[in-house]
Amino acid sequence: MSDPRVCAVIPTYNRRDLLLETVAGLVAQDRPCDRIMVLDNASDDGTGEAVRTAHPDIEVIRNEHNTGSAGGFSGAAEWAVERGYDWVWLIDNDSIPAPDALSELLKAYERFPEAERPLLLASKVVWTDGSILPLNVPIFKRKELGSFYFAAEHATLSLRAAPYAGLLVHRALIERCGLPIEEYFLWNDDIEWTGRLLRDHLGVLVPTSVLLHKTPGNPTTTAHLGPRFFYEVRNKLWMIRGSDAFRPMEKTRFAITLVVDVGRHLVHGRRPVQAIGVVAQGLVAGLHRAPHPRVPASERG
């Protein structure tokens, strides 16, 4: 592909100062983005005004209510695809890309044979001390050795699913497989979506493309989530029960992980009664129904 058009998208909610760092990192790319779009998820900390003041050329779109990471990335990706960009670069609002993060992703894409190029490429995500963030580690396609070795031959690692942070996704893949499901709100929405994208397509992690994720602390489990653990339970059940992103054995592994995380949440939660209630609510919501896929803007009334 000659001179592909890249749109970086950043959904945000009340992260004004970190968001400005993220935007500065995007503006400083050695391979400039063709467009940068901030989707303001109804922030009340002056996010939109701050971005417009510091960077007048950046597109800022405001939602009237907070749609979470799922709704934010879904709406932002849809916006970019509708405007004809070849690649959508998804960036968290507390992640700062290294100056060559985008160029390294595009170089990796070009290394592959033209007919076998990956349509999703991910950056390596590190914490402020340079360590790998356990909760930002993607799922690698280790079971499919042909794909794993093929990616390794081109200095990458083949992916089965990945978090949003630093994903470069080709518009053709989004048009073929759909958008993130907004009802997930947060937690596992990225894994379900990229699992769908990569079930039958190649995606790779590019270790030379680095994203600094300024999350507060370096959590190793979901036990720190408190009431938000509801989304972990409900959404993982939704993914296991109703999504076609993963095969039966993969879903079995997710179920085992969920049982382990529920146990940790109940043991380590600071408020045992609240922890039990959160788990119960998540189980009921996850078993009661399945989420509805996002309706494309062209089909909405």
Q: Are residues 250 and 198 in the same domain?
A: no
> Shortest CA distance to 196 belongs to which of 237, 154, 239, 234?
239
In a domain, 110, yes or no: yes
Looking at the fold, whether 91 and 199 belong to one and the same domain comes out as yes
Rounded distance, CA 226 to CA 276, Å?
A: 11
Is residue 294, in this structure, part of any structural domain at all? no
Looking at the fold, whether 159 and 10 belong to one and the same domain comes out as yes
Q: Is 300 inside a domain boundary?
A: no
Q: For residue 46, is it within any domain?
A: yes
Which of 198, 220, 242 terminates a domain? The answer is: 220
Q: What is d(CA 233, CA 255) in angstroms, rounded to the nearest whole number? A: 10
Given a contact cutoff of 8 angstroms between Cβ atoms, the answer to whether 103 and 31 are in contact is yes
Query: Are 115 and 254 found together in one domain?
Result: no
52 located within any domain: yes
Say yes or no: 20 and 77 in one domain: yes
**Of the residues 190, 220, 250, the one at which a domain ends:** 220
- pLDDT tens digit string along 101-128? 999 999 999 999 999 999 999 999 998 8
Task: Write down the pLDDT at residue 223.
Answer: 55
* Mean pLDDT for the stretch of residues 222-244: 85
The set of residues, in sequence order, having a beta carbon less than 8 Å from that of 206 and lying 6+ positions away, is 104, 105, 108, 121, 122, 123, 124, 155, 156
Let me know if residue 153 belongs to a domain. yes
Q: Is residue 297 part of a domain?
A: no
CATH number at residue 79: 3.90.550.10
Nearest to 19 by CA among 125, 99, 92: 92
Could you tell me if 89 and 139 lie in one domain?
Answer: yes
In a shared domain, residues 150 and 278: no
Q: Which pLDDT band, with edges at 50, 70 and 90, does 288 fall under?
A: confident
Q: Are residues 42 and 163 in the same domain?
A: yes
Amino acid present at 58: I
Lowest mean pLDDT among 135-149, 153-167, 189-203: 135-149
**Listed residues 177, 195, 220: the one ending a domain:** 220
Phi then psi for residue 243, to 5 deg, are -85, 145
The count of domains in the chain is 2
Is residue 222 predicted with pLDDT exceeding 70?
no
* 78 has pLDDT over 90: yes
When pLDDT is averaged across residues 68-77 and rounded to a whole number, the result is: 92
What pLDDT shows up at residue 256?
95
Q: Which residues of 114-142 are buried (b: 16+ CB within 10 A; e: fewer)?
A: eeebbbbbbbbbbbeeeeebeebebbbbe
pLDDT tens, position by position, 249-261: 999 999 999 999 8
- What is the C-alpha separation between 203 and 194, in angstroms, rounded? 9
Residue 273 has pLDDT above 60, yes or no: yes
pLDDT for 301 beyond 50 = no
CA distances from 230 to 104, 196, 261 (A): 37, 23, 12
Are 206 and 251 found together in one domain?
Answer: no
- Domain coverage including residue 249: 226-288
Tell me, what DSSP letter sits at residue 181? P
Question: Is residue 170 situated within a structural domain?
Answer: yes
Residues 176 and 237 in one domain: no
pLDDT over 70 percentage in the chain: 93
**Do residues 163 and 248 share a domain?**
no
What is the per-residue pLDDT for 10?
96
Cα 5 to Cα 18: distance, rounded to the nearest angstrom: 26
pTM of the model: 0.90
**199 and 268: one domain?**
no
